[in-house]
Amino acid sequence: MPAGPLRGTIRVPGDKSISHRSIMLGALAVGETRVSGLLEGEDVLATAAAMRAMGASGERVGEGEWRVHGVGVGALLQPEAPLDMGNSGTSTRLLMGLVSSHAIETRFFGDASLSKRPMGRVIEPLSLMGAAFDASEGGRLPLTVRGARPAVPIEYRLPVASAQVKSAILLAGLNTPGITTVIEPVPTRDHSERMLRGFGAELEVEEVAGERIIRIRGEAELTPQTIEVPGDPSSAAFFIVAALIVPGSELLIQNVGLNPTRAGIVHVLRQMGGDITEVNPREVGGEPVADLLVKHSALTGIEVDPAIVPSMVDEFPVLFVAASLADGTTTCTGLEELRVKESDRISVMAEALTLAGARVRETEDGMVIEGSGGQPLPGSADADGPVATHLDHRIAMSMAVAGLVSRDGVLVDDTRPIATSFPVFEALLEGLIP
Ligand code: S3P
């Protein structure tokens, strides 16, 4: 039986990208940085543990309330043991950047999912800055980084649209004499730039012929800050889609970060006919935020503009679910990067949705989805086994949302990865189901 209407008010936890960055920069600013609304998911805790291992200290003083005591740019210490990155690509790539310009030699390792992900994209620019790497086959974890002191500033044009690669270079640039420059042909999330500026780094952004040129002056001195982390739009996306596709729903989702480099999903769902209203727009922690009032809507399939991909790169799994319930065909292209996330999100979602009875076709760089026109999906009862989530939190949450609009429900093999980014997901969802 499909779930009844989702009604009420929820608040999404802190943004994962911003939480990682607030711990890292807090750990580099001499004195006490106060963070509220921190996402206490496993990925962010991996970052916190690594910063502790390199000399910073921090304590949790309440739910999402942290005090970070920083050591200063250039003063990170050699960790005594290899750094455990768990499932977190953001921790790994950003910390590889930080270590690259410090006199530190350390090893990074992670879980089976993270150990399959490409690190060559950060190894290349960081090697140009002088760091040395000893990586596993194919430029993967486990790997050892030997930082360069002093590192050399570079000018680097990003070959892939990746905020993690951009941020790794900027963080390495923090302790590199001179000016480090990153050129972004396609803009990606700009939380690092906003927060580096907020901490007092000299960072300039210039737009030239559609490209973003970001320059940071190294050997920076950061000043401790008080940071309120806004809610995570990537977490909100599961509830936005759930409210749109479960008949009769009307949900107020509070505290949703709507930075334009992140908010593509709201735009695309509105293009499909989704009724999403921004209430009480405001600024939190230097980022635009609003509450979103979402009402059940008859969605229509569309062709998704590939130019919007970077601003919703993590939201495609749940968009595929929304499209499975829409009227008509949705076509997504330009999704190559999805294949190197926590799982290959194109093929894993194609398999998962097929198992749940949706009509989808995987393509080399995307997905074509024939929507059910609002009819519930059959669900996974007739399938040979549960949906395989491949250690990917967003697959587990997306398929839980698909289960809400299915006749027999959808069984997923492993919900534990949800704790990496959204530990209260299941409790929030259960609290809404009548
Ligand atoms: C992130 C950047 C994105 C995103 C990830 C978080 C970040 O990765 O998928 O969840 O915090 O910078 P890429 O930079 O690989 O696109």
CA distance 190 to 210: 16
pLDDT, mean over the chain = 97
CA distance 200 to 217: 11
Which tens digit of pLDDT belongs to each residue from 335-365? Answer: 999 999 999 999 999 999 999 999 999 999 9
pLDDT of residue 27: 98
Residue 239 · residue 250 · CB < 8 Å: no
168 pLDDT tier (thresholds 50, 70, 90): very high
Going by alpha carbons, the residue nearest to atom 9 of ligand 1 is 314
Count other Cβ atoms within 10 Å, centred on residue 384: 6
Is 93's pLDDT higher than 70? yes
Is 384's pLDDT higher than 90? no
The number of the ligand 1 atom at minimal distance from the alpha carbon of 16 is 11
Q: Give the pLDDT mean for 389-413.
A: 97
DSSP 181-215: EEEESS----HHHHHHHHTT--EEEEEETTEEEEE
The number of the ligand 1 atom at minimal distance from the alpha carbon of 314 is 9
Count other Cβ atoms within 10 Å, centred on residue 208: 8
Contacts (Cβ under 8 Å, ≥6 apart) of 402? 321, 324, 352, 353, 356, 358, 377, 410
Least confident piece of the model among 332-336, 362-366, 378-382: 378-382
Q: State whether the Cα torsion 191-44-266-325 is positive or negative.
A: positive
395 pLDDT tier (thresholds 50, 70, 90): very high
Q: Give the pLDDT mean for 327-333.
A: 99
CA of 379 from ligand 1 middle (Å) equals 31
CA of 249 from ligand 1 middle (Å) equals 31
pLDDT of residue 1: 64
Choice from 95, 189, 261 to test ligand 1 binding pocket (greatest atom count within 8 A of CB): 189
CA of 232 from ligand 1 middle (Å) equals 13
DSSP 336-376: GGGGGSSS-HHHHHHHHHHHTT-EEEEETTEEEEE--TTPP
H-type alpha helices, 14-88: 16-28, 42-53
pLDDT of residue 383: 84
The number of the ligand 1 atom at minimal distance from the alpha carbon of 341 is 9
Q: Give the pLDDT mean for 54-70.
A: 97
CA distance 290 to 298: 24
CA of 91 from ligand 1 middle (Å) equals 10
CA of 313 from ligand 1 middle (Å) equals 8
Strand ranges inside 248-356, DSSP E: 250-257, 275-284, 287-295, 303-304, 329-332
CA distance 255 to 279: 10
Q: Give the pLDDT mean for 63-80.
A: 98
Is 161's pLDDT higher than 70? yes
Choice from 164, 337, 395 to test ligand 1 binding pocket (greatest atom count within 8 A of CB): 164
pTM of the model: 0.98
Which tens digit of pLDDT belongs to each residue from 9-37? Answer: 999 999 999 999 999 999 999 999 999 99
Report the chain's C-alpha Rg in angstroms: 21
Looking at residue 402, its amino acid is A
Which tens digit of pLDDT belongs to each residue from 188-203? Answer: 999 999 999 999 999 9
Q: Give the pLDDT mean for 76-87.
A: 98
Contacts (Cβ under 8 Å, ≥6 apart) of 430? none
What are 172's two structure tokens? Answer: 């390495």
The number of the ligand 1 atom at minimal distance from the alpha carbon of 165 is 14
285 pLDDT tier (thresholds 50, 70, 90): confident
Walk me through the domains of the chain, giving residue ranges and CATH numbers: 7-13+230-432 (3.65.10.10), 16-228 (3.65.10.10)
What are 15's two structure tokens? Answer: 């943004």
Is 159's pLDDT higher than 80? yes
CA distance 74 to 106: 16
- Percent of the chain past pLDDT 70, that is, above it, reads 100
CA distance 64 to 10: 16
What are 119's two structure tokens? Answer: 């690190």
4 pLDDT tier (thresholds 50, 70, 90): confident
What are 155's two structure tokens? Answer: 């000018």
Q: Which residues line ligand 1 (CB under 6 A)?
A: 17, 90, 162-164, 167, 189, 313-314, 337
Give the active site residues: 314
**If we measure between CA atoms, which residue out of 145, 104, 153 comes closest to residue 122?**
145
Which tens digit of pLDDT belongs to each residue from 112-152? Answer: 999 999 999 999 999 999 999 999 999 999 999 999 999 99
239 pLDDT tier (thresholds 50, 70, 90): very high
Choice from 17, 193, 339, 393 to test ligand 1 binding pocket (greatest atom count within 8 A of CB): 17
